[in-house]
Amino acid sequence: MATPGARIAIIGGGPGGLYTAALLKRRDPDRRVTLWERTTPDRTFGFGVVLSDETLGGIEHADPAVHEALQRNFTRWDDIEIIHRNTRRTSGGHGFAALGRKRLLEILHTRCHALGVDLRPHTEAPPVQRLAETHDLVVAADGVHSTTREAYADTFRPRVTTHRCRYIWLAADFAFDAFRFEIAETEHGVMQLHGYPFAADASTVIVEMREEVWRAAGFDEATPQESVERCAKIFADALGGRPLRSNNSAWTAFRTVVNERWSHGNVVLLGDAAHTAHFSIGSGTKLAVEDALALTACLEEHPDLRSALTAYENERKPVVASTQRAALASLEWFENLALYVDQPPRRFAFNLLTRSRRVTHDNLRLRDPDFTAAVEWEFGCPPGTPPMFTPFRLRGLTLRNRVVVSPMDLYSAADGIPGDLHLVHLGARALGGAALVMTEMVCVSPEGRITPGCAGLYTGRQGEAWRRITDFVHERAPGTAIGVQLGHSGRKGSTRLMWEGMDEPLPDGNWPLVAASPLPYKPGSQTPRELSRAQLTDLREQFVAAAGRAARAGFDLLELHCAHGYLLSGFLSPLTNRRTDAYGGSPARRLRFPLEVFDAVRAVWPEERPMTVRISATDWADGGTTAEDAVEIARAFAAHGADAIDVSTGQVVAEEAPEYGRSYQTPFADRIRHEARIPVIAVGAISSWDDVNSLLLAGRADLCALARPHLYDPHWTLHAAAEQGYDGPGTLWPAPYRAGSRPPRTGRTDAPKPRLTLGS
């Protein structure tokens, strides 16, 4: 924004607002930058602020004077300590830098004064509409309770989510020697302490617990001083019997702020006004400072304000979204802390350290190899064996590693008969090293197909064709198991091939559909008939007949498909089951028919061969299946003899709103594993062997199923072994392929330069 003498208004005197003011004034001394702040540094909330090396690097490039002042005031440490059940586990190599929030604001105030920023403390900013009329740019850094955001809510379209824990910011007058997490299991429930030093003689102490624990412990009725004293007593060991102090601290619930847009005309949001991320990943100040750097750079790089603000938003939103996903994973981990307290000490510590998915098995091994090796030993990894290459037993089947090729519909069968593409697809992935290769959903009747190209097991010819494939896998990829997934399309049937229009009805040749209730999948879809009691019996027998053919075809494992809105899933979800008979209504009644099918199939499936069940653990829609419901569904199938639950989500209703992201479905598997006490198969955007190792070692999954990575690379598991330097019984290269067991040499590549370099 090259407007001579541009007038810039900044609302909010936190780190984000002050640093933005300093940067903008430094880049162009002719700018008239005015900042309104309602308070002063000595009345700030909170105590310590943690900044990453990445953020500090950006500050150093943009303003060496601020960077030097910060460096002189930092407290640095490397270790994280986790204290649980009187056991201390320490992990090193993490690298933290912190200073007092009050000192940070003093540094930024000094810099703003030196640069000529017009600071107006103890002063409420004029209404944002008036500022927008009298200034070229208005930066709203007015925090989580932003009045600017509310004034233009129709444009910004904020979503504010209040979470389940209560927490309070306190301080101790001594320095912890590490980032400390301490768990207290009280008569009222689990509480946790997050503590870290921010000066030679001071530490931040955050005490957090679930809302119901907070109330049961009487904190909702305690005075502020009583809360401080009781927290000090609960965590007396961590504090060495020393007191805690407050700075007008109050119990609060964390609120995640997401805005669909960040700018409106010449008004732009920054920091907590635009977004928040849970304090357990220490990101609030970091994100605000990075916003300031990006906004200043974009104003430099673009010829007009509109394009600059668009560029700022386009640059920062993906970064913030990624951070918020990590923060949400961390937040939910602490919300559900009670699930993990019975884990072995090292696994508990590893689980805590990797909770956000940003710290992983591989980079933790680089940071602290001794700690990671100890966790691997406790898990049962033989020396030199990554977690993913340890065996796992399901009933009479021992899988040589923890990798599953997830079911992938090929839509390429003729009259339900799998052909050469199925042989090549499944055979190639069996040769690729995974322990278990799953078929696509194999349909139990012609009317149960999704598309005309779906494979089946409702005729003898189909069974013979599948036998050809299982024989290939067993003969050419010894040690690899192959499983069949049985299902019925329900209301999602009679549609086009995926690449011709997913979920779109056939232009002609449609067959009638049946479902739990007569509800079309989406507008324009065929309306199914509600199944009668007699038809339910017929359908159950179709599953039984298909299971018998699957056993004779040589499959090692059978999975019952009760997910993704297909027929059995349609009974489970309250959004798709509106029946008023014995098969609808309460959760137990909605479970009745899927359990009847499971029992009938289990009765004919060979006793030594395992059966799993795939479920949708959430419908991603209001009024649908919840995570709590999923636990009960899993418990029910476990009680009927399921050997594992394959935990997927969604695809039940067309109006779903999934929260996509890396490993986004794994928390549902984690919860089912710990609450229902049954092995789980985790799925959903698990994209790297590092993810697999991390999930297994943390105890969030027993097996990991991957689809797209195996489309990209049929030998994904073998390559994962090669890249980790593993050559053991957990995966074996087929004899004709052994010459390719080492990655080929590649040319040199240079790392990209830092994105933001504003210069001096």
Question: Can you give 381-445 as a three-state secondary structure string?
Answer: CCCCCCHHHCCEEECCEEECCCEEECCCCCCCCECCECCHHHHHHHHHHHHCCCCEEEEEEEECC
Average pLDDT over residues 477-506: 93
Of residues 753 and 576, more confidently modeled:
576
Please, are residues 419 and 459 in contact by the beta-carbon 8 Å criterion? no
Average pLDDT over residues 78-106: 92
Q: What is the dihedral of CA 535, 538, 543, 548, to 10 degrees?
A: 180
Residue with tokens 């090669």: 722
**Torsion-angle region of residue 29: left (phi > 0), alpha (psi -120 to 50) or beta?**
alpha
Nearest to 627 by CA among 618, 614, 616: 618
User: Alpha-carbon distance 708 to 713, whole Å?
Assistant: 8
pLDDT of 95 reads 85
Locate 653 and state its tokens. Answer: 């209703």
Average pLDDT over residues 578-606: 97
Average pLDDT over residues 354-363: 92
What residues pair up with 403 in beta bridges, in sequence order?
704
Residue 604 makes CB contacts below 8 A (sequence gap 6+) with: 544, 547, 548, 551
- pLDDT above 70 covers a percentage of the chain that reads 96
Average pLDDT over residues 669-675: 96
pLDDT of 704 reads 97
Phi–psi pair at 438, nearest 5 degrees: -105, 140
| Mean pLDDT of the chain, nearest integer | 93
| pLDDT tens figures, 305-319 | 999 999 999 999 999
User: Alpha-carbon distance 314 to 318, whole Å?
Assistant: 7
pLDDT of 67 reads 84
Phi–psi pair at 498, nearest 5 degrees: -50, -45
Checking if the pLDDT of 266 tops 70, the result is yes
Residue with tokens 């300590």: 81
User: Alpha-carbon distance 282 to 645, whole Å?
Assistant: 35
Side-chain half-sphere CA neighbours of 86 within 13 A: 0
Checking if the pLDDT of 261 tops 90, the result is yes
Instruction: Identify the band that residue 514 occupies on the pLDDT scale cut at 50, 70 and 90.
Output: very high
What residues pair up with 557 in beta bridges, in sequence order?
483
Please, are residues 444 and 544 in contact by the beta-carbon 8 Å criterion? no
Average pLDDT over residues 137-147: 96
User: Alpha-carbon distance 709 to 694, whole Å?
Assistant: 17
pLDDT of 750 reads 61
Report which DSSP code applies to 414.
B
Instruction: Identify the band that residue 757 occupies on the pLDDT scale cut at 50, 70 and 90.
Output: low
Checking if the pLDDT of 385 tops 60, the result is yes
Catalytic residue (one of 196, 521, 566, 664) = 566
Count of residues making up the chain:
760
- Please state the separation of Cα 58 from the chain's center in Å: 27
First-to-last alpha carbon distance for the chain, in angstroms, is 18
Checking if the pLDDT of 744 tops 80, the result is no
Phi–psi pair at 426, nearest 5 degrees: -75, -35
Ranges 94-103, 280-289, 624-633, most confident: 624-633
Rounded to 10°, the helix 15-27/284-301 angle is 20
Instruction: Identify the band that residue 760 occupies on the pLDDT scale cut at 50, 70 and 90.
Output: very low
Checking if the pLDDT of 190 tops 70, the result is yes
Checking if the pLDDT of 753 tops 60, the result is no
- Please state the separation of Cα 252 from the chain's center in Å: 24
Element (H, E) at 501: helix 498-501
- 566 annotated active-site: yes
Measured CA to CA in angstroms, residue 612 lies from 400, 560, 606 at distances of 18, 6, 13
What residues pair up with 486 in beta bridges, in sequence order?
442, 560
Nearest to 666 by CA among 680, 652, 650: 680
Rounded to 10°, the helix 305-335/284-301 angle is 160
The reported pTM is 0.90
Of residues 756 and 626, more confidently modeled:
626
Element (H, E) at 158: strand 158-172
pLDDT of 4 reads 59
Residue 412: count of CB within 10 angstroms of its CB: 17
Checking if the pLDDT of 748 tops 90, the result is no
